[in-house]
């Protein structure tokens, strides 16, 4: 079976750099919502931001492009992504609070 850009998928992204305290999670949530994606963004204890997003593959790729630049005050060093199967587990896109 071949995949198309509209196939549902999921992506797990870890964003490195100056990405906490710069409204990165809100930025990610705003973009994900605009693109019709579901999932979450949360700060991790090591200073990174974790993003889990699900939806159309093309829209996920658009989100990753935005994560690579971030909001104006952010300084993104890199974004590491891992693709997986769509789960349908999330009903919207949420900002989660600090996770250890």
Q: What is the pLDDT of residues 30-71, one digit of tens each?
A: 999 999 999 999 999 999 999 999 999 999 999 999 999 999
Residue 84 near residue 60 (C-beta atoms within 8 A): no
Active site residues: 25, 43
36 to 30, 39, 100: CA distances (angstroms): 10, 10, 28
Domains of the chain: 8-86 (3.30.70.100)
pTM above 0.75, yes or no: yes
């Amino acid at each position: 079976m071949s995949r198309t850009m509209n196939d549902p998928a999921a992506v797990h992204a870890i964003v490195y750099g100056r990405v906490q305290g710069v409204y990165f999670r809100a930025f990610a949530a705003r973009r994900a919502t605009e693109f019709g994606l579901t999932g979450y963004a949360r700060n991790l204890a090591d200073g990174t931001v974790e993003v889990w997003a699900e939806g159309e593959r093309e829209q996920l790729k658009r989100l990753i492009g935005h994560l690579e630049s971030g909001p104006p005050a952010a300084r993104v060093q890199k974004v590491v992504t891992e693709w997986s199967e769509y789960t349908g587990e999330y009903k919207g896109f949420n900002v989660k609070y600090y996770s250890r």
